[in-house]
Structure 1
Amino acid sequence: MIFSDKLHKLLFSLALATSITFSQSLLAADSANKESGFILTSIKPLQLIAADITEGIIEAVSLLPPGASPHQYSLRPSEVKRIHNASSIFWVGPELELFLSKPFSAYANKSHALSALIKSVTKKQPGIDQLLEIAGRAHSEQNHHQDEAHNHSEEDHQNEEDNHTEEEQHQPHAIQLHQHQYQGRDPHIWLSPEQALKIAATIRDVVAAQYPTHKQRLTSNYLDFAQSVETADRTLKQQFGSLKGVGFLVFHDAYSRFVEHYQLNQIGALTLNPSKRPGAKHLAEIRQLINDSQPSCIFSEPQFSGVAIQSVVRNLNIKIGQLDPLGIGTKAEKNRYASFLSSFGRQFSDCLGS
């Protein structure tokens, strides 16, 4: 009996050691297959998308540090060097990160402005299910004809753009203060799940052109990404089902894509320019709007001072929540963007539903 117990322990130890060695070998092989260098994104939300797509292929890093606003920032020498060393660069475009226009102009061959993806919130975008179908079809065909699948995906993407139709803009409330800063071209494109899928497809195609031996892995990563986004999106739609009529205000007008997608009831924004405090007259208008409309919440942002919000809500019956559109608190190591999207949605529902 004693001998049998010792034998079992020995066999267990050998099996455990073999398993660990095998896992380490897989990790080493995966690491050996990764490309040196890195791709660079301007802000963390784009980095979350890029990291999901390039998992196991090349590192994706963010240029701006946590908490920095893409509306206004001064690059440090180390960040200029990072731009120079990146194999490719992804940013929204001058609509959002105007300060990057000049430094990126010197790297036009490797910088990719995603502003071409920015569509009016009044345009009907293809649904996530449709985009998933396209991604799945490309993934299936690539197993047999990798090059043909890539071309087919390009044709599908063009067809999606051509099939957009006009629809009436969602107007949740008669009073609209500072709701149209971008004249229908809100550059915060990553807050739309459908636009995030297009961003991911763009990154996939650019990296595949640079590293064609990784095309199959990139397609597989994209399909995993699309499925994780679809799951998060479906959960959020259920989560917001009973909250669509609950009014709220935001610090600055950055959420039209998210609000439109989930049909939420944003009735106003405190400021057009988040780097400037709103004037006394506008704060008085906001206070009147709160009195008239009785919104449930007003949302601040961690990147900006909450002084204006504290001033406008003094002695008023309204809750204060916080939205993190730049994903400062996102720490996920897998399904990074889906984790960010889910967390961002909870920030809304926690205040609107409480």
Structure 2
Amino acid sequence: MVIVSRLFLLFVVFMTGFLTANAADASVRILTSIKPLQLIAAAVQDGIAVPEVLLPPGASPHNYALRPSDVRRAQEADLLYWIGPDMETFLPRVLSGRSKSSVPVESLPGMHLRHFTASAEHHDDDEDEHDHDHRPGSVDAHLWLSSINARVIAAKMAADLSQADPANAARYESNVQAFDTRLDALDAKIKQRVAGISSKQYFVFHEAFDYFEEAYGLRHAGVFAVSSEVQPGAQHVAAMRARLTEFGKTCVFSEPPLRPRLADTLSAGLPVKLAELDGLGGYTPATAEGYEQLLSKLADDLAGCLEGL
């Protein structure tokens, strides 16, 4: 009888541990299209689970080619977050067959959306070379570079997670509050970091940083919006080089992983520094403070180049 009782007790202990482990493994699976959304989700799920991301580091969110395994992940995730059709043009067809929740964050109430305006650096003969739609009036989908939008996205994720996983609702709410507090401190820190370069203008190869510039009082002088694969005509190159010559000392920023071939041609013999800005934070760890690291690095990289002029 004693042996039976002990065996029963061991069975109860085993089953308790088994069920507890399964409960932990059964956490809500979040999949985001791009790294910045994964970083926001990581702040919301901190201590509970680690969200997944669809695109690998260095992949373009504008024209990524999904693999069969990517499609399966997109179908199986409990919650999926993406920017919207203005950014991930490859996703709508896949998501049309998805039965679970998919959230295009650009459509969330309270989002601050910018729209592209006409730029002297955009030439009509390059329209077919652009990776995605930057026409005047179209939505600027690089919206994650605004901490205002990051707060809206985090709040939506927390609400969705609380509904799907009510046992952890208090933790999600606490995580969002902590995220908001950290973003308050981050905004103040970045404003102080870039205060000395607010009057310095620079050039970019991709008009992706307007939200960040708006938030922290920065402004680029021009956009060399050309494809990394197609070399522009001689007249266009001459016009861009003349623009750089006019400015004298300045910085020209490209995005990793590839620097446009044009960069060295434009800067040769000029007091121009070439540097990188990683708006996607491709290799930023998906931790609770990953989103802050993304914005902080942008500020440091901008200031680091411009301060050295």
**Class of the TM-score when normalised by the shorter of the 2 chains:** 0.7 to 0.9
How far apart in 1 are the matches of 2:22 and 2:247?
56
Q: Work out the number of aligned pairs and report it.
A: 277
Contact 1:181/1:253 (8 A) holds in 2: no
* Residue 321 (structure 1) shift: 1.0
Match of 2:79 in 1: 88
Match of 1:49 in 2: 40
Greater CA drift, 191-200 or 206-215: 206-215
Match of 1:63 in 2: 54
Match of 2:121 in 1: 177
Cα distance, 1:33–1:63 mapped onto 2, change above 3 Å: same
Cα distance, 1:184–1:101 mapped onto 2, change above 3 Å: closer
* Residue 214 (structure 1) shift: 1.8
* Residue 119 (structure 1) shift: 3.7
How far apart in 2 are the matches of 1:62 and 1:105?
19
User: For residue 67 of structure 2, what is the amino acid of its counterpart?
Assistant: R
Secondary structure of 2:205's partner?
strand
Q: When the two structures are superposed, what TM-score results if normalisation uses the length of structure 1?
A: 0.71
Match of 2:222 in 1: 268
How far apart in 2 are the matches of 1:42 and 1:182?
25
User: For residue 277 of structure 2, what is the amino acid of its counterpart?
Assistant: L
Taking the TM superposition and a 5 Å limit, the aligned residue runs for 1:307-326 are 307-326=261-280
Taking the TM superposition and a 5 Å limit, the aligned residue runs for 1:149-188 are 176-178=120-122, 181=135, 183=137, 185-188=139-142
Cα distance, 1:71–1:275 mapped onto 2, change above 3 Å: farther
Greater CA drift, 265-274 or 191-200: 265-274
How far apart in 2 are the matches of 1:91 and 1:333?
19
Q: When the two structures are superposed, what TM-score results if normalisation uses the length of structure 2?
A: 0.81
How many percent identity over aligned positions?
34
How far apart in 1 are the matches of 2:283 and 2:257?
12
Q: Find 2:63's aligned residue among 47, 61, 72.
A: 72
Contact 1:33/1:56 (8 A) holds in 2: no
Contact 2:44/2:158 (8 A) holds in 1: yes
User: For residue 122 of structure 2, what is the amino acid of its counterpart?
Assistant: H
Contact 2:42/2:287 (8 A) holds in 1: no
How far apart in 2 are the matches of 1:98 and 1:193?
24
1:329-351 CA distance string (max 9 Å, x none): 32363311111111121111111
How far apart in 2 are the matches of 1:58 and 1:194?
24
User: For residue 213 of structure 2, what is the amino acid of its counterpart?
Assistant: V
Q: What stretches of structure 1 move > 6 A for 4+ residues in a row? A: none
How far apart in 2 are the matches of 1:113 and 1:226?
21
Taking the TM superposition and a 5 Å limit, the aligned residue runs for 1:128-277 are 176-178=120-122, 181=135, 183=137, 185-271=139-225, 277=231
* Residue 185 (structure 1) shift: 2.3
Matched, 1:121 2:114: yes
How far apart in 2 are the matches of 1:276 and 1:185?
25
Cα distance, 1:285–1:64 mapped onto 2, change above 3 Å: same
Secondary structure of 2:81's partner?
strand
User: For residue 256 of structure 2, what is the amino acid of its counterpart?
Assistant: P
C-alpha RMSD of matched pairs (Å): 2.7
Contact 2:57/2:283 (8 A) holds in 1: no
Match of 1:285 in 2: 239
Contact 2:203/2:222 (8 A) holds in 1: yes
Cα distance, 1:111–1:327 mapped onto 2, change above 3 Å: same
How far apart in 2 are the matches of 1:43 and 1:271?
22
- With a CA cutoff of 8 Å and minimum separation of 6, indicate the structure with the bigger relative contact order: 2
